[in-house]
Amino acid sequence: MTLRQLELFLALVKTPHLSQVAKDFGLTQSAVSMAIKALEETLGKLLFDRIHKRLVVNENGRYFFRMVEPLVFGLRESEAMFRDQDLVGDIKVGASSSIANYILPQIIYEFAELYEGVRVEKITGNTIEIGKLIEDGDVDIGFVEADYNSTEIEREVLGLDELYVVTGDPDLVSGEDYRMEELLSKRWILREEGSGTREVFLYHIEKYKKRFKPFLEVGHTEAVKSVLGNKGALSCLSRISVMNELLSGQLFRLKIKDFKFSRSFYTIWHKDKYFSSVLQEFIYYTKERYKAVYEHQAHPH
């Protein structure tokens, strides 16, 4: 079946005059008749009785009319919406956990307020998982916490982030800055392999690699924080993910001499991705709002 066949069928039921329907659609009467005949052949049932050279809708036609009228109306309404408004559509976003949990919720909320015709679905994973989703075309755009190297993927910097070494053990708190060597033997709790936070931290301590061994690896930032109150436990996490705990006294920041753990957050997309107007606007809005949302999350009070 074609949409044109269905439209002609609906028109003939409402206006049972072949000549008028043909005129309304800019077709010949024979073209309309052929379209209806083709529709009936597709369905395997007659929709009209041929009485005195007139098309009279029958019981099949009345039932079919009731089934397809709302569908055709919905299709036409959707077409009009896309034609008259650029910013409508469903966006699938993949994001690493720090961005997904602390940056994107506010941005998505604001975007939904601005554009009621847009729905944003967010999928959370580590950097490698999000990169693979982009490669497979399962999400439209990705926001990750470390660079993802792939010939299939394009990238640009979304913004900067800082990592803090934190603990929940008050005995580790010192009035002076630590040297990294002093902390290597402590119980480091790290995210799993594939995590952008983990990758950046290990990059910064590359020269201590042979002497460093994680005590525990877990799959989520909240899981890391949940065990930092144990004796000697510490980790390196995004500033935005620990700020509330630092302010409430649940966690403590350990400053390390000659070390500043910083990184970039990246926007990534498939090199062959088509950028609709709504996707372009969402990316632009996220980039514009990132710094303000990040600073608010990092310093909520």
- Is 284 found in the same domain as 250? no
Round to whole Å and give the CA distance between 180 and 259: 8
Q: Domain span at residue 15? A: 3-82
Whether 66 and 117 share a structural domain: no
* Amino acid 134: pLDDT: 95
Find the CATH number of the domain harbouring 237. Answer: 3.40.190.290
Pairwise CA distance, residues 169 & 256, whole Å: 16
Give the C-alpha distances (Å, rounded to integers) separating 78 from 11, 71, 75, 83, 211: 20, 11, 5, 9, 61
* 131 and 184 within one domain: no
Q: Are residues 234 and 103 in the same domain?
A: no
Of 53, 82, 111, at which residue does a domain stop?
82
Question: In terms of Cα–Cα distance, which of 297, 131, 257, 245 is closest to 199?
Answer: 131
Whether 56 and 42 map to the same domain: the answer is yes
Instruction: Please provide the distance, in angstroms rounded to a whole number, between the alpha carbons at the two ends of the chain.
Output: 61
Please report the pLDDT score of residue 60 as a whole number.
93
Walk along the chain (301 residues) and give the pLDDT tens digit of each residue.
Answer: 888 999 999 999 988 888 999 998 899 999 999 999 999 999 999 999 988 778 889 999 999 999 999 888 888 777 665 554 557 788 999 999 889 999 999 999 999 988 888 899 999 998 999 999 999 999 999 999 888 889 999 999 999 888 999 999 999 998 888 988 889 989 999 988 888 888 888 988 888 888 889 999 998 889 999 999 999 999 999 898 899 899 999 999 998 888 888 888 999 999 989 888 889 889 999 999 998 888 887 666 5
Do 61 and 127 fall within a single domain? Answer: no
**pLDDT at residue 9 in the model:** 93
Q: Does residue 20 share a domain with residue 71?
A: yes
CB 141 within 8 A of CB 100: no
User: How many structural domains comprise the chain?
Assistant: 3
Exposed e or buried b per residue across 3-35, where buried means at least 16 C-beta atoms within 10 angstroms of its C-beta? eebbbbbbbbbeeeebeebbeeeebeeeebbeb
Same domain, 229 and 98: no
Distance, in Å, from the CA atom of 110 to the CA atom of 101, rounded to the nearest integer, reads 15
CA distances from 99 to 61, 125, 223 (A): 54, 10, 16
Residues 10 and 147 in one domain: no
What's the length of the chain? 301
CATH number of the CATH domain containing 32: 1.10.10.10
**C-alpha dihedral, 190 to 191 to 192 to 196, nearest 10°:** -120
Q: Which of residues 82, 108, 131 is at a domain's end?
A: 82
93 shares its domain with 26: no
- Kindly state whether residues 179 and 228 are assigned to the same domain: yes
The pLDDT assigned to 124 comes to 93
| 255 and 286 co-located in one domain | no
CB neighbours of 299 closer than 8 A, spacing ≥ 6?
A: 243
